[in-house]
Amino acid sequence: MILAVHILFGAAVGNAVGNPALGLPTAFVSHYLLDSLPHREYDIDRVENLSRTGWRRAAIDFIKIFIDFFGGMAILVFIAPASIPLPWLLLWGFFAALPDGISFLHYLWPDNKPLAAQQRFHKLIHIKQDKKETPWRLGIPFQIAVALAAIVLLNSHSLVH
């Protein structure tokens, strides 16, 4: 699942909880829920194998991740209902993307036990597929549907005031 979808969905479920602080772990857990469903992702093999490929060769993958993350945050800012405090929306979105950030830290420090444990769990919960097994005609529309549902939920359930 791309980060922008995680961010939108995490903000929507974080808000739907009705308690800003409880929305943070809810948004975090939403990442694993979405990753357990069929979807398509762009390749970031050079980042995933950073120790072998090096920072310079991984630059294009970092650009993709940067655009994805900040694009998701920008969409969130653009569609944010006035009734929901923007800092909470951004925090919920950030927490929803955080498991992938922790995975990146694992690529940097593969021997770190807590990072390795999270990575094992992330891979375990992740849909049992190669990134390319879900066809584009299913994986992309599904993510669009999740993003649109998150936007509708955000604009219909402004529970935090």
Is 129 inside a domain boundary?
Answer: yes
pLDDT at 45: 74
Return the higher-pLDDT residue of 127 and 20: 20
CA-CA distances (angstroms) from residue 104 to 30, 39, 44, 45, 156? 18, 20, 11, 12, 34
The confidence score (pLDDT) of residue 97 equals: 97
Q: Residue 161 has what pLDDT? A: 44
User: Does 148 map to a domain?
Assistant: yes
| Residue-number span of the structural domain to which 24 is assigned | 3-156
Predicted confidence at residue 142, as pLDDT, reads: 86
Pairs from 22-25 (Cβ < 8 Å, separation ≥ 24)? 23/88, 23/92, 23/160, 24/91, 24/92, 24/95, 25/95
Q: How many domains does the chain have?
A: 1
Which pTM value belongs to this model?
0.88
Does residue 142 sit within a domain? Answer: yes
Please indicate, yes or no, if residue 19 is contained in any of the structural domains. Answer: yes
Q: Is residue 161 a part of any domain in this protein?
A: no
Is the pLDDT at 139 greater than 60? The verdict is: yes
Of residues 37 and 75, more confidently modeled: 75
